[in-house]
Structure 1
Amino acid sequence: MPLKTTPGEAGAAAPRKKKLPMPDVFIILFGFMILVLLASYIIPAGTYERSTANGLTQVATDSFRYIEAAPLNVMDLFTAIHNGLVAASTLVFLILIVGGVLKVIESTGAISAGIYRLLNLAQGRQNLLIFVYCATFATLASVGVGANLAIAFIPIGLILARSMKLDPIVGVAIIFLGSYAGFGAGVFDPTVTITGQTIAELPLFSGFMFRGAIFVVFLAITAAYICRYATRIKHNPHLSVMGAEAFESAGQNSQPDAHPAFTLTHKLVLALFPLAIGLFLFGAFNRDWGIPQLSATFLMLGIATAFIGRISPNDFVKRLMNGAGEVMYGALVVGVAAAVIVLLKQAQLIDTLVHSVATSLDGHGKIVAMELLYAFNLVFNGLITSGTGQAAIVMPIMVPIGDMLDVTRQATFITFKLGDAVTNIITPLSGTLMACLAIARISYVEWFKFALPLVAIWIVTGGVFVAVAVAINYGPF
């Protein structure tokens, strides 16, 4: 006769299986490195002839030939990480410097005070508040105040949503989606835009007018989408993806803290940023300034901020190091991603891959071919959510393909940039997204239901901009 067991005993006998955690981006990148090592024994090596014209390295379209294979070994696998960091060192150091300086600016309280000032100026007008905050965070992201910073401002978004009697979804959306609307354009982004344009051998920040148009369109679409949702749930709270009692169930009923004053110091600190960007643009277009000068400009911006904010030299260094520490992860991602390219070059597989992709795209026409590359990048971004890391892997492959399709380097870059940004707002591999949802106590399923239509709109809009960029031979090259 079988023995009876209590529910507790049954649970003890059959413990629930633990879910496997999402792999870290470094694990994914190392997995790619192992795949390249294995591929070096399977895929034939090949090469194109290259020449330099007008400062650009060009691929001779009909010069591809197979060569003797160069299989990799285990030592190659691990030395590639060091070599990748060395190859990407200028970008790694730029990211560390920018992250440190932005931390100095943030530590003055200027950004928080400015945002709260906007809250007061809007005087409770719902749609105006939503647009102003979306525009603010889109602008910050488009000039390099990374979308990751959105995490710190989610509580402000929740306060704003609560003041308008809306659900936490709106509070997250105006901050997070606003940031990525600006990140998608990357008008003056000193990290991802600079990384992509450096690899494409383009003048830094060139083509900003077209990216400005992308910024305006993506911002308008995003703000309109959030306003439409907010208006709908304002009239009928049961239409919220979180349910009618969203704030009560999420425990968001505490009173907001007092708003910080927006002082003259804050205004001066914020005014320094556009001045610094303007100085670099002048140097870039008139003095051939590059990444070293951009790093120097940010360092001068940090020192000027410390002077205005009356930050002592020791405190300045401490805040700079704290900021550099916060972006160290992303900076190292660039180097490890570059290690994948180091291995591909060492095994002489890049040109073989380029030849294979270019051949498969042959006969599709330039626009269709670039749309296919755009679609590939959308999918790839679901795995590598780091923009700089993705640029380090994808751009060396996309540039020669674009050249062979007779597409401008700028159009190739914008194809990468749009493909990099769109799926960040929905992939569960995005640490920024999952952190924002955790702070607001929103489940991923609820966010997915809310954001999926916007993702579809963004994808189509991005595809239109890719087609336009190819059709107008988007310059300067």
Structure 2
Amino acid sequence: MKEKQKKPFKIPHTYVILGIIIVIMAVLTWIVPAGEFDRVVDEASGRTLVVPGSYHEVEGNPVGLFRLLTLVQEAMIDSSGIIFFIFFAYAFVYMQMKCGAFDAAVGAMLRKLHEHKMFIIPLFMLIFGLCGSTFGMTEETFGFIPVFMGIAVALRYDALVGGAMVYVGVITGFASATVNPFTIGVAHTIAELPMFSGLWFRCIVFAVFMCVSMWYVMRYAKKVQKEPRLSIVKDVELSAEGLSEEELMKTEFTVKHKISMLLFLITVILIMFGAIKLGWYINEIAGLFLGMMILVGLIQGYNFSEIAQIFIEACRDIMFGALVCGVAKTILLVMQDGMIIDTFTNAIVGIADTNNKYLSAFMMLITQNLLNFFIPSGSGQAVTSMPIMVPIADMVELPRQVAVLAYQFGDGFSNMIWPTSVATWCGMMKLPMDKWYKFVLPLGGILLALETVFIMIATAINYGPF
């Protein structure tokens, strides 16, 4: 008799992984006691804040099978803003790729840089990092992922390098924020600290974390360039194939291409100006992307029917990544519907309440990292955790600025680890989540160690408001 060959274990589809987490959370709504904090509206900021010490159990609302299925639909509706934003952002980028403007621009850049092409990695990671650090840019970078994946492949790295340039770059900047209004600004308001105070220390933090992240990505890129078989994604189809480096070097950068890339640069500038000065968010930026896509198409000589067809092609290409947002949002809705988020929050924040300020500072860091799984929104985590953390900091004579720093680290860096965030980014890259974890977990360990070091330093120097 022939022996049965064992099938090699295959990591489930991203949607299956998320589905397993969703089901686990639904089961927990039948096991974990339901509860909630009292909340009040802060008159000064207009934000709804948690009342410390007000947690109490309430009547449970376990999530059944049919309710679970309807929550998937509700999650898709709740996520529709970001889903359609992804469609429009990618369509703009896709138009630039379709007409060859990006290939031509990369070719021109390579002709200028010659042997210094490796500096493309730290240069763009720093740009994305500064955007995350200053005005909280995160989802706005989704449209750049396929561009940089293509650039990385052309430079004889792999597509993962390009995705990491965007993902690791912007998340590192967001987590080591300097003047991010959505994290530092909200946390400082709640902690009653001068807005954006303590900037000097956060600038040092930003510089160190960005250098480490850039070193890590460059190290992997050099390894893959030297020995392609060491690529983590060598057996994965990431749809990032494009022209070779030699072909790009020979690609003519025409006047139409230059106009298209000028419009790309203008779009980025308008996004920054609109976000900082005009309060733009998803809807306004999506509208800008749509308008610029049409304009670039017309400049390249496409008629409206052709532009419409290109838009459909772009949406089809990015469908997997866009819909991941809705599937991942189901996790949060299940916990909200089952009223167990505040139960987990109450249990987690309790570990930060110790009699030693160094231990409390460290436990605040761990607490905020854990909370980011349950409350992935930066400002949402601030209004939930900071009203509880500030009194704890006062009790152990820990500077409130340290509590803000712990929140900032925990809310940010774990976005590269928790599946609620990773699923969306991997969806954009069409990358299996296990491949991302193989790449990022060593970096995650390094960053967590650095977070701890800076938290301890901040506690030792009594890091204050100025």
Q: Normalized against structure 1, the TM-score is what? A: 0.68
Q: Distance in 2 between matches of 1:356 and 1:58?
A: 18
Shift of 1:404: 1.8
Q: Distance in 2 between matches of 1:414 and 1:312?
A: 48
Shift of 1:61: 1.0
1:297 aligns with 2:284: no
**One of 338, 342, 347 as aligned partner of 1:347:** 338
Q: Which residue of 2 aligns with 1:49?
A: 38
1:417 aligns with 2:375: no
1:156 aligns with 2:154: yes
Q: In the TM superposition, what are the counterparts of 1:158-307 in structure 2 within 5 Å?
A: 158=156, 175=162, 177-185=164-172, 217=208, 220-221=211-212, 224=215, 256-257=246-247, 259=249, 260-307=251-298
Judging changes above 3 Å, is the alpha-carbon distance between structure 1 residues 79 and 428 closer, same or farther for their aligned structure 2 residues?
closer
**One of 83, 86, 92 as aligned partner of 2:83:** 92
Shift of 1:20: 2.9
Q: Which residue of 1 aligns with 2:16?
A: 27
Contact 1:134 1:174 in 2 (8 A): no
Q: Which residue of 1 aligns with 2:240?
A: none
Q: Which residue of 2 aligns with 1:122?
A: 113
Contact 1:222 1:454 in 2 (8 A): yes
Contact 1:90 1:291 in 2 (8 A): yes
Computed over aligned residues only, the root mean square deviation of the Cα atoms, in angstroms, reads 4.8
**One of 363, 373, 380 as aligned partner of 1:369:** 363
Q: Distance in 2 between matches of 1:113 and 1:71?
A: 56
Deviations 1:424-464 (A, max 9, x none): 9xx99996899889xxxxxx8xx96x988656544444556
1:74 aligns with 2:58: no
Q: Which residue of 2 aligns with 1:4?
A: none
Q: Distance in 1 between matches of 2:411 and 2:223?
A: 35
Contact 1:283 1:289 in 2 (8 A): yes
Q: Which residue of 2 aligns with 1:17?
A: 6
Contact 1:183 1:421 in 2 (8 A): no
1:38 aligns with 2:27: yes
Judging changes above 3 Å, is the alpha-carbon distance between structure 1 residues 338 and 396 closer, same or farther for their aligned structure 2 residues?
farther
Q: Distance in 1 between matches of 2:300 and 2:456?
A: 46
State, as a whole percentage, how many aligned pairs show the same letter.
20
Q: Distance in 1 between matches of 2:247 and 2:92?
A: 27
Judging changes above 3 Å, is the alpha-carbon distance between structure 1 residues 202 and 322 closer, same or farther for their aligned structure 2 residues?
farther
User: In the comparison of the two structures, how many residue pairs are matched?
Assistant: 407
Shift of 1:289: 3.1
Give the secondary structure class of the aligned counterpart of 2:61: coil
Give the secondary structure class of the aligned counterpart of 2:41: strand
Q: Which residue of 2 aligns with 1:101?
A: 92
Q: Distance in 2 between matches of 1:431 and 1:117?
A: 30
Amino acid at match of 1:350: I
Deviations 1:352-408 (A, max 9, x none): 111111112222756423431465489x7xxxxxxxxx9758985675134421378
Contact 2:38 2:54 in 1 (8 A): yes
Q: Which residue of 1 aligns with 2:385?
A: 401
Judging changes above 3 Å, is the alpha-carbon distance between structure 1 residues 391 and 334 closer, same or farther for their aligned structure 2 residues?
farther
Contact 2:39 2:48 in 1 (8 A): yes
Q: Distance in 2 between matches of 1:295 and 1:202?
A: 30
Q: Distance in 2 between matches of 1:230 and 1:466?
A: 31
Shift of 1:261: 1.5
Give the secondary structure class of the aligned counterpart of 1:261: coil
Judging changes above 3 Å, is the alpha-carbon distance between structure 1 residues 276 and 33 closer, same or farther for their aligned structure 2 residues?
same
Judging changes above 3 Å, is the alpha-carbon distance between structure 1 residues 88 and 403 closer, same or farther for their aligned structure 2 residues?
farther
Give the secondary structure class of the aligned counterpart of 1:75: helix
Contact 2:321 2:426 in 1 (8 A): no
Q: Distance in 2 between matches of 1:61 and 1:397?
A: 14
Q: Which residue of 2 aligns with 1:167?
A: none
Q: Distance in 1 between matches of 2:222 and 2:209?
A: 20
Shift of 1:96: 1.9
Q: Distance in 1 between matches of 2:123 and 2:203?
A: 13
Q: Distance in 2 between matches of 1:321 and 1:465?
A: 48
Shift of 1:59: 0.5
Shift of 1:221: 3.8
Deviations 1:276-296 (A, max 9, x none): 343344344444333221222
Contact 2:106 2:248 in 1 (8 A): no
Q: Distance in 1 between matches of 2:29 and 2:112?
A: 61
Judging changes above 3 Å, is the alpha-carbon distance between structure 1 residues 402 and 461 closer, same or farther for their aligned structure 2 residues?
same
Shift of 1:256: 3.9
Shift of 1:257: 3.0
More displaced 10-residue stretch of structure 1: 214-223 or 343-352: 214-223
Structure 2 gap segments, 5+ residues each: 132-139, 190-194, 231-243, 391-399
Amino acid at match of 1:185: T
Q: Normalized against structure 2, the TM-score is what? A: 0.69
Shift of 1:305: 2.1
Shift of 1:225: 5.7
Q: Which residue of 2 aligns with 1:5?
A: none
Contact 1:340 1:393 in 2 (8 A): no
Contact 1:280 1:294 in 2 (8 A): yes
Which structure is larger by alpha-carbon Rg, 1 or 2?
A: 1
Judging changes above 3 Å, is the alpha-carbon distance between structure 1 residues 320 and 465 closer, same or farther for their aligned structure 2 residues?
farther
